[in-house]
Structure 1
């Protein structure tokens, strides 16, 4: 489920993050990872507080207070962590988070039936969340970036990682 969410965020973030000239390319993967972290940590907190009904509300409407909270937290985090200006961060959050939440519910194009809410809640409390967020947030960051970058087609030299050589090949 978490891998599906990562892919969904990558697809949804193509325009708002990856093709956005206001987001330096070296931060693309980090911004995508931060979107996943913002969504899953909020859902985890709701589950811990016994407020699982609010998860469905967030998936239903971008105007739901939980969805708005995710957007605000995400925008704030990418401003702080990546130095993205406030207007750009708010614009990215307003485009990316509702698209991902809508697609999780099944409202996005090419997403099939969406995600099962019970699967989402189970994954955020089963220990998968800690591993996923830990892998995205620290430890082996280069490996995570290479993995995500490879899935996005950024491994231009085909050596299994995304590094300066790939960047060089992009401009040849």
Structure 2
């Protein structure tokens, strides 16, 4: 499930991130990982609070408050972490997050859409809660998952097995 989501975000982010001259190439993987982190964090929070209906509604509309919140958090995070200017960050967020959410619901997402038409929302929520994802990546919570993903993307700069503030500091030295 996680690999499919990562692939979906990479495909959806081809134009808005990878081919974007405003995003330095060394930050492409980090920006893609941050998009995934933003989506999974918000959905995980909603799921933990028993608000799965909010997740379903967010998948239905780019104008939903949850979708807008994910976009704002993502834009703020990539501005802070990667020094991307606010206009570029807002543009990336406004393009990438709705495209990914559309593909997750099985909408008309084009190249980013999974074969067979989207993802099962229950699989996503189960993965976030530590079901399939926890077993596959050796952890049971979102922080372990994010650290594991970050490590695979080469973001574990201090080699301690997790991705945290120390790794971020080392990226800019």
**TM-score (structure 1 length as normaliser):** 0.79
In the TM superposition, what is the alpha-carbon distance from 1:129 to its structure 2 partner?
3.5
The equivalent of 2:153 in structure 1 is: 144
Structure 2 spans left out of the alignment, 5+ residues: 131-139, 156-173
Measured in 2, the distance between the counterparts of 1:95 and 1:118 equals 25
In the TM superposition, what is the alpha-carbon distance from 1:144 to its structure 2 partner?
2.0
Aligned length: 142
The equivalent of 2:148 in structure 1 is: 135
Measured in 1, the distance between the counterparts of 2:144 and 2:15 equals 28
Secondary structure, in 3 states, of the residue corresponding to 1:23?
A: coil
Measured in 2, the distance between the counterparts of 1:48 and 1:84 equals 31
Secondary structure, in 3 states, of the residue corresponding to 1:20?
A: coil
In the TM superposition, what is the alpha-carbon distance from 1:113 to its structure 2 partner?
1.7
Conserved? CA contact 1:59–1:105, under 8 Å? yes
The equivalent of 1:14 in structure 2 is: 14
Measured in 1, the distance between the counterparts of 2:117 and 2:141 equals 22
In the TM superposition, what is the alpha-carbon distance from 1:102 to its structure 2 partner?
0.2
Structure 1 spans left out of the alignment, 5+ residues: 147-172
The equivalent of 1:167 in structure 2 is: none
Measured in 2, the distance between the counterparts of 1:17 and 1:101 equals 16
**TM-score (structure 2 length as normaliser):** 0.78
Specify the structure having the higher radius of gyration (Cα): 1
The equivalent of 1:164 in structure 2 is: none
Measured in 2, the distance between the counterparts of 1:64 and 1:83 equals 27
In the TM superposition, what is the alpha-carbon distance from 1:134 to its structure 2 partner?
1.3
Once the two structures are superposed, residues 113-147 of structure 1 have per-residue CA deviations (whole angstroms, 9 ceiling, x without a partner) of: 2110110110000126443211234xx3xx4249x
Structure 1 runs (4+) deviating above 4 angstroms are none
Q: RMSD value over aligned CA atoms?
A: 1.4
